[in-house]
Amino acid sequence: MRRFLSVLLPLSLGLVLTATSCNPDDPGERPGNDAGTEDPGSDAGNDAGTETDAGTDAGTDAGTEEPGPPCTLANPQPSDCAYGSYCGSSETCQTVPTPTCDNFNKYPVSWDPATSTGPVIYAAELLSLTANDSNCTPQIPTRFRIRVRAYSPSGALPTTASDLSKVFSYVNRNGSYLSEAGQFSDIVTSGDLKNTEFVVSNCIVDQPTVNLGFHFEGGNGYCQQASK
């Protein structure tokens, strides 16, 4: 992962269930930015997001599950489902939603379930969206906490915040991204390294609704809409 020093301007069941400065001339480049000085295990990131609204795109909420091949939720994801799908609550295979939020317009993700092999984000859950959070600054006073779930048939999923920061990014609507250890906490990865869940938290400008983007290197992009 190429990383550049810059500044970012403006992840079970929860409240909402669904799912630095970038280079304008080359959206494929992934400029890095500083997550602050928090320890890797802390909830508080230091993402100075500049978005002031969520736009009109709805993100990739899971919505109503469609009929699909049967699967067993008791089995690790993707259970009996093909790569690029996951076992839904109705115990039928569901296709991972396509990311339609603005976040990936300037941060293009090249992922095809027919040819790709990277980690698949299949669910994201809003834990909180808190205004005037004590971990944030007056300029970016609202903090979100999202639990992300992913699987990788080949294994090798990260077990630490430091390793996560090398392969996972939180993507802003302007195409900039944050990939720093300080934004990750509560990491639980299976012994075979094929399933993981973890919490992503960052500070953003105060707003009632925001579209958040998440991406594993070599895997899919995933949109999550967070609302107060």
**Residue 1: inside a domain:** no
User: Are residues 121 and 190 both part of a single domain?
Assistant: yes
User: Are residues 140 and 90 both part of a single domain?
Assistant: no
User: Are residues 113 and 167 both part of a single domain?
Assistant: yes
User: Are residues 175 and 210 both part of a single domain?
Assistant: yes
User: Are residues 30 and 113 both part of a single domain?
Assistant: yes
45: domain range? 16-62+97-227
> What is the predicted pLDDT for the residue at 173?
87
User: Are residues 79 and 130 both part of a single domain?
Assistant: no
User: Are residues 48 and 75 both part of a single domain?
Assistant: no
Q: pLDDT tens for residues 127-167? A: 999 999 999 999 999 999 999 999 999 999 999 999 999 99
Cα-Cα end-to-end distance for the chain: 34
User: How far does Cα 5 stand from its chain's mean position?
Assistant: 21
> What is the predicted pLDDT for the residue at 17?
33
> What is the predicted pLDDT for the residue at 63?
52
C-alpha dihedral, 32 to 33 to 38 to 42, nearest 10° = -60
The number of residues in the chain equals: 228
Q: pLDDT tens for residues 53-88? A: 433 343 444 456 778 999 999 999 999 999 999 999
Inform me whether the pLDDT recorded for 37 exceeds 80. Answer: no
The C-alpha atoms of residue 2 and residue 4 are separated, in whole angstroms, by 7
User: Are residues 145 and 220 both part of a single domain?
Assistant: yes
Lowest mean pLDDT among 3-7, 78-82, 105-109, 140-144: 3-7
User: Are residues 90 and 117 both part of a single domain?
Assistant: no
